[in-house]
Structure 1
Amino acid sequence: MKWWHYLLSVLVLVFLGIQFVPNDLPEVELQNPGDIMLTGMVNDEVAGLLKNSCYDCHSNESKYPWYSHIAPSSWLVTKDIREGREELNFSQWNSYDLMEQLGKLDDIIEEVSSGNMPMGIYTLMHSSAKLSDAQRELIVAWAEESMDKLVEEDEADFEENEN
């Protein structure tokens, strides 16, 4: 047996062996009463972009493709979704206080306008999630307008409570 047959056999055994390493994909929840989509602050066009390009990692509504169940790619999917939800979870929008919401919107502006989001590794496997320059501008404009509205609403609430 040639050395490459031995190497291939070892690689196949390792690949099969790592399939038994436990990996708990983050739970999927489709009923999210605190979701940003239920706040009325997202128009239909932006909602479609967020759902298509952001929600797999930044919501409780992740959709797991076939490769997310096969190690070692399942480990990366799990890591990315856990980190994505920790950084921003659209499904838990209402649990953020005003300052957190403003910070999240500011992060969206930064990450989307710089091209860091959606991540390149994600769009490699999900080409429909790639954002055009016009789509990026639309999301950024929405986030900026949302920040302004949140601040205006907070100021109005403050003034109303003072009277």
Structure 2
Amino acid sequence: MKVWHYSGLVVALIILGIQLVPTELPEVTQDNPGDLIGSRIVDGEVADLLQTACYNCHSNVTQYPWYSHVAPVSWLVAKDVKMAREEVNFSIWSEYELMDQLAILDDIYSTVEEKHMPLPIYITMHAEADLDDTQRQKIIEWAEAAMDILAEEY
């Protein structure tokens, strides 16, 4: 019985101790003049879907929930958001070269069609991001149409 008591105490001390390890969550900025939403290639309905299902990781307007400030979950959230923004950051859309924008739209098309995004772990904590087939189809059709619009410029 004493072993369990001491084991529980050690675990509690470890959990408390790891809270002291600093976590650098990626910065949040509300003023993003080069954002995809402000571009001419996205309409309101698709913009709403992207904001609900994608923007929390793939933009600078991440809304961190309470648990993102508690280690070790904070470490995972920080890593995931950093990686997501490196892959594509909708807040800096206008900074991407035209060919990169086309590649991103092509990736959006395929990952949404194949249901690889949003990630299941994200949907577990954010049920509103779970896209139904109609919503997925809207994003797919938008990505295809946006590619056509941008390809005309090339």
Pairwise CA RMSD of aligned residues? 0.8
| Percent identical | 55
Aligned-partner residue type, residue 57 of structure 1:
C
Q: Which structure 1 segments of 5+ residues have no match?
A: 155-163
- Give the distance between the partners of 2:115 and 2:7, measured in 1 at CA: 40
1:80 corresponds to 2:80: yes
1:30 corresponds to 2:21: no
Shift of 1:2: 2.3
Dislocated runs of 4+, deviation >6 Å: none
- Give the distance between the partners of 1:106 and 1:40, measured in 2 at CA: 18
Deviations 1:89-135 (A, max 9, x none): 00000000111000000110111111111111111000011000111
- Give the distance between the partners of 1:99 and 1:40, measured in 2 at CA: 17
What is the aligned partner in structure 1 of residue 139 from structure 2?
A: 139
Shift of 1:153: 2.6
Aligned length: 154
Q: Which structure 2 segments of 5+ residues have no match?
A: none
- Give the distance between the partners of 1:130 and 1:5, measured in 2 at CA: 42
What is the aligned partner in structure 2 of residue 96 from structure 1?
A: 96
Deviations 1:6-30 (A, max 9, x none): 1111110000000000111000000
Q: TM-score, normalised by structure 2?
A: 0.97
The secondary structure found in structure 1 opposite 2:57 is helix
Deviations 1:47-105 (A, max 9, x none): 00000110010000000000000000000100010000000000000000111000000
Aligned-partner residue type, residue 68 of structure 1:
S
Instruction: Answer 1 or 2: which has greater helix percent.
Output: 1
The secondary structure found in structure 2 opposite 1:57 is coil
Shift of 1:35: 0.3
Q: TM-score, normalised by structure 1?
A: 0.92
Structure possessing the higher radius of gyration over alpha carbons: 1
Aligned-partner residue type, residue 37 of structure 1:
I
